[in-house]
């Protein structure tokens, strides 16, 4: 019925509206639950008067642990490999290896776990959980309506754009982020559904939350060309900080992987976060209020009550405390994740960037150069520099900050800082915290279509097994009777008694003697066999490695070794045919 009255194009537009609406509702629900928990805890007498907030993360992580163990431990199918630890990498993996099919439990799992993590003080964000919930909604909606894999991929990208648009009320940045993360081709076919989903989500957010903005920033000081060198310095700083952020992320995860049980991780992580919160209270939760205070120039309120209060009349003590916040925000965020918390990376990255930008401006203004820069502008642009460096999304960083400011007054300094930060981190680190583990295992799609096609292809799809195996001790006569006469192939693998691959024989190798009956009993297979030009290791070689081996060896067939035994052959003709088929699917 649908195909009769609604074209495929219009059907996708309708689904985009639905995905935007549902994701917007999920994002609003997520924020409201989190803020309700935070407000309830802040009004609690025991915590507000006695300053015991630093023990809250342990409680939140323990609740997440219990729910994970007894409520969400089963039924999360299709499952995601344990090496994938964040929301966006799990989506990228699902799109590549699981046709974008996500468990229905992921619809409400983030709506429960993330508010418990963030509401109780975990130093993570809410954007990642909103993306997960929206993507699970779009995936299961597409499964119910029996849409194909390509449309499902587009709808998950729409959910990502919708989550960003709802959180930040920035539809253009939302579209750009979806394109940069999911490596979509920016064509009209993909652009319009993303735009529709973003608009639908933003309108949903306005309907439930009014015109409340995540950051309400008004540019009071325009860009001064004399500040160009300082914005370049900020780009250098955010680039270095992005590398630190990423290195610290993987180092902390590696540390926590030493603990065998989740409960041990919870205790160690919870205690570590509590200690950090005691000395640096702004690390509590997402940190949005901290950034808002910096925008307004109220840095003392941003730093909160801490053991160093009596020294904060000295601006250099303030600068040191802000540097401490910048350093420990990455540590607190990753510790929250590694201890079992649920949340996102992007908002903590922005908050850390705002602190770094404010630090750079304060140093410039107080070092004695006699030159003053806008601390609020540097605070804002520091956010963009760190986003560009940490997640390698420079266009998203530029448009997100431009939309937050409501214009393009700071577009030039934004581009300067973002470009330098991105170049530094991209040259030092090819992959981000989202993509590194996927890339190492050959599970990452990119804008490089050739590489993406090879990533999508599987070795099993091109292995051929209809070869008759020979043994070294077989006589020429046996080889002709048991092999050549019964095979349609001109290639024969040679294996020993344990199925270990020892060589190959081509029909051309025996063509000159195959009719000489005097050699039938006196010569053996071992006489004619030779080594293969190369080998394909089933457990190790990705498709791009297989293609390179064919290119280097000039062979038309290469044997596949699995568990150190002969498994089959891959032919160049079948490999290229499969490649061409996948390439057509990608570009159609």
Higher-pLDDT residue of 231 and 445 is 231
What are 196's two structure tokens?
């529709």
DSSP secondary structure letters along 128-176: HHHHHHHHHHHHHHHHHTT--HHHHHHHHHHHHHHHHHHHHS-HHHHHH
DSSP secondary structure letters along 171-215: HHHHHHHHHHHHT----HHHHHHHHHHHHHHHHHHHHHHTT--S-
Does residue 273 surpass a pLDDT of 60?
A: yes
- Euclidean distance between CA atoms 557 and 122, whole angstroms: 55
What are 439's two structure tokens?
């890339």
The CB density around residue 252, as the number of other CB atoms within 10 Å, is: 22
Q: Are residues 566 and 500 in contact, defined by beta-carbon separation less than 8 angstroms?
A: yes
pLDDT, one tens digit per residue, over 456-488 is 678 888 898 888 889 888 888 888 888 888 888
DSSP letter assigned to residue 504: E
Does residue 48 surpass a pLDDT of 50?
A: no
Does residue 186 surpass a pLDDT of 60?
A: no
Higher-pLDDT residue of 185 and 379 is 379
- Euclidean distance between CA atoms 54 and 278, whole angstroms: 6
Q: Is the dihedral of CA 295, 304, 279, 61 positive or negative?
A: negative
Does residue 559 surpass a pLDDT of 70?
A: yes
Q: What is the mean pLDDT of residues 551-572?
A: 89
Per-residue pLDDT, 190? 73
**pLDDT tier at 185 (50, 70, 90 boundaries)?**
low
Q: Are residues 337 and 343 in contact, defined by beta-carbon separation less than 8 angstroms?
A: yes
Q: What is the pTM of this model?
A: 0.79
Chain centroid to CA 259 = 24
Per-residue pLDDT, 213? 62
**What domains does the chain contain, in order, with CATH numbers?**
2-209 (1.10.3080.10), 225-272+284-301+320-441 (1.10.3080.10), 451-587 (3.10.580.10)
Does residue 392 surpass a pLDDT of 50?
A: yes
Does residue 277 surpass a pLDDT of 70?
A: yes
Q: Are residues 283 and 332 in contact, defined by beta-carbon separation less than 8 angstroms?
A: yes
Which positions ≥6 away from 360 have C-beta within 8 Å? 230, 233, 234, 237, 378, 382
Per-residue pLDDT, 255? 93
SS3 assignment, position 516: coil
Q: Are residues 121 and 284 in contact, defined by beta-carbon separation less than 8 angstroms?
A: yes
- Euclidean distance between CA atoms 528 and 328, whole angstroms: 67
Q: What is the mean pLDDT of residues 338-365?
A: 92
Q: What is the mean pLDDT of residues 404-413?
A: 78
SS3 assignment, position 29: helix
**Between β-strands 536-537 and 557-562, what pairing exists: parallel, antiparallel or unpaired?**
parallel
Per-residue pLDDT, 49? 46
Q: Cα dist. 20→9, 165, 433 in Å?
A: 17, 9, 27
Mean pLDDT of the chain: 84
Higher-pLDDT residue of 319 and 208 is 319
- Euclidean distance between CA atoms 260 and 256, whole angstroms: 9
Higher-pLDDT residue of 6 and 518 is 518
Q: Are residues 469 and 495 in contact, defined by beta-carbon separation less than 8 angstroms?
A: yes
6-15 CB contacts, 8 Å cutoff, 24+ apart: 12/151, 12/154, 12/155, 12/193, 13/192, 13/193, 13/196, 15/138, 15/141, 15/142, 15/145, 15/147, 15/151, 15/155, 15/158, 15/193
In what helix (H) or strand (E) does residue 501 lie, and over which residues does it extend? strand 501-506
Pick from 11-20, 37-46, 159-168: least confident: 37-46
Phi-psi region of 554 (alpha: psi -120 to 50; beta: other; left: phi over 0): left
Q: What is the mean pLDDT of residues 361-370?
A: 88
SS3 assignment, position 90: helix
Give the CA dihedral 419, 423, 424, 428, nearest 10 degrees. 160
Q: What is the mean pLDDT of residues 309-319?
A: 85
């Amino acid at each position: 019925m649908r195909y009769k009255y609604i074209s495929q194009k219009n059907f996708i537009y309708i689904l985009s509206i639905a995905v935007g609406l549902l994701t917007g509702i999920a994002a609003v629900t997520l924020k409201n639950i989190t803020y309700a928990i935070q407000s309830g805890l802040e009004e609690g007498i025991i915590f507000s008067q006695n300053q015991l907030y630093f023990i809250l993360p342990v409680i939140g992580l323990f609740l997440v642990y219990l729910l994970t163990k007894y409520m969400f431990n089963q039924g999360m199918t299709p499952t995601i490999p344990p090496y994938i630890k964040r929301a966006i990498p799990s989506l990228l993996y699902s799109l590549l290896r699981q046709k974008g099919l996500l468990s229905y439990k992921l619809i409400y799992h983030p709506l429960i776990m993330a508010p418990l993590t963030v509401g109780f003080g975990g130093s993570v964000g809410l954007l990642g959980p909103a993306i997960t919930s929206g993507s699970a909604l779009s995936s299961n909606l597409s499964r119910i309506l029996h849409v194909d894999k390509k449309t499902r991929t587009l709808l998950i990208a729409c959910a990502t754009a919708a989550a960003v648009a709802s959180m930040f009320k920035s539809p253009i940045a939302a579209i750009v982020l979806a394109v940069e993360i999911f490596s979509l081709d920016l064509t009209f076919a993909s652009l319009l559904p993303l735009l529709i989903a973003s608009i639908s989500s933003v309108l949903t957010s306005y309907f439930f939350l009014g015109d409340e903005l995540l950051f309400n920033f008004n540019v009071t000081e325009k860009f001064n060309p004399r500040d160009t060198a300082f914005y370049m310095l900020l780009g250098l700083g955010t680039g270095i900080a992005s590398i630190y952020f990423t290195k610290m992320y993987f180092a902390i995860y590696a540390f926590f992987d030493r603990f065998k049980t989740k409960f041990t991780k919870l205790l160690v992580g919870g205690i570590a976060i509590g200690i950090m919160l005691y000395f640096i209270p702004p690390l509590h939760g997402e940190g949005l209020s901290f950034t808002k205070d910096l925008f307004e120039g109220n840095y003392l309120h941003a730093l909160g009550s801490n053991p160093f209060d009596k020294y904060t009349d000295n601006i250099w003590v303030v600068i040191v405390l802000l540097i401490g916040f910048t350093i420990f925000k990455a540590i607190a965020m990753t510790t929250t994740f590694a201890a079992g918390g649920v949340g996102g990376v992007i908002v903590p990255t922005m908050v850390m960037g705002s602190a770094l930008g404010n630090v750079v401006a304060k140093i410039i203004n107080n070092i004695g150069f006699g030159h003053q820069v806008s601390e609020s502008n540097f605070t804002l642009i520091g956010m963009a520099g760190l986003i560009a460096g940490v997640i390698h999304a420079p266009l998203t960083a530029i448009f997100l900050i431009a939309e937050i400011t409501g214009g393009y007054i700071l577009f030039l300094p934004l581009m300067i800082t973002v470009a330098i930060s991105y170049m530094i981190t991209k040259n030092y680190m090819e992959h981000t915290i989202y993509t590194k583990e996927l890339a190492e295992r050959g599970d990452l799609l990119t804008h490089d279509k050739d590489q993406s096609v090879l990533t999508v292809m599987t070795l099993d799809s091109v292995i051929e097994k209809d070869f008759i195996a020979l043994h070294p001790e077989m006589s020429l006569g046996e080889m002709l009777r048991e092999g050549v006469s019964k095979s349609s192939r001109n290639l024969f693998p040679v294996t020993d008694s344990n199925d270990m691959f020892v060589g190959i024989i081509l029909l051309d190798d025996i063509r000159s003697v195959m009719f000489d009956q005097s050699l039938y009993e006196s010569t053996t297979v071992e006489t004619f066999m030779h080594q293969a030009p190369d080998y394909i290791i089933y457990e190790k070689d990705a498709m791009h490695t297989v293609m390179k081996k064919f290119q280097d060896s000039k062979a038309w067939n290469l044997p596949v070794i699995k568990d150190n035994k002969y498994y089959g052959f891959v032919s160049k003709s079948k490999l290229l045919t499969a490649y061409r088929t996948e390439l057509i699917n990608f570009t159609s």
